[in-house]
Structure 1
């Protein structure tokens, strides 16, 4: 899908207080950024921000960082946050954004600095030669393992069953523990409890597409994310 460039995006993001600049300088210092010791959760490929802003509203005792590669997409998340704060008349201090490539997460977060990672409807990169670019590939799982704390997990949702099968296989091959699996999340009462939907999730589920979800942790990490 061709992304529409928004000329004003870079300027607005560079001036916005919730968008982190020079993010590598914050490595190991995210508690100072948020000015508290609350756990940090990261969504990689956050899109327009519905999922993350909803979590930030629901859980003031947790910190959230949204990562998006494209400035024109991240702009929409920033605009959503601004609209929420204006409507409520209060600032959400537990959310920040970064415009960066997901491959660089070990350069931005210290070992065991992240409590959980969300991957929602990631690009499937359908061509076999691009498999390493998939956010649930072995290469990316190894990156996540470096930054997750001892109880940290990855939660992954998709409507793409081929990508889901690939993700399950990659997790097993990398020695990760598959904590929970559903091939039809919205009909799984246990796993769907407390589920927060993304924009894509609403769209695809309304079309009758089953939503797949897995919760996985490196072999020494054994607890799930509590939303």
Structure 2
């Protein structure tokens, strides 16, 4: 199989899957809906266009740098024309918006080579601006990491750790264990259901459905690791002849 890899990093990210009314939440990792939406924007897909070609791709994400949860309070006012011709302003309800700050994720899409190569090219030269879940969250640095002849699982377990150098130096060990979240295989019975599979981005009838995910951990080399490997102590060695 072939995969396209994406680096999702920025000051703020917001990957909502259950936002309602004035409370806009975020997941701790990118959603399939959010990443497919970003890819669709890069390819110039309109909100009313069909999405089956993209949603059929297998999706996975690795949490390279989890970041911090941030809550922001927002309010707004709207004008109202009075009978005497003057304009008054009425306040809208205070909203709570949640973000993930200072996070870095590896996102991987698996599918046919032609399609993943098209995605890689589109992300490098997008038709519409790219953002990390919300329009107020632009990516920091290049998003495209290239196309690889790997399965989804192989890519998540082998591509280099992309956390900041400062974060890598905090982990003195030569390897680090990272959490991954990926589309489950049909025969995996212990999966978890999440509702972030896009059916339509049409503003008049936006729809999402359920998908099954699997959470795992992978061990990745730490290029900034400083821990020295020591031989295991054998208390019986001194008794040998």
Q: TM-score range by the shorter chain?
A: under 0.3
TM-score normalised by the chain length of structure 1: 0.24
Higher relative contact order (CA 8 A, sep 6+): 2
Q: Which has the higher helix share?
A: 1
Q: Which has the higher strand share?
A: 2
**Higher Cα Rg: structure 1 or 2?**
2
TM-score normalised by the chain length of structure 2: 0.23
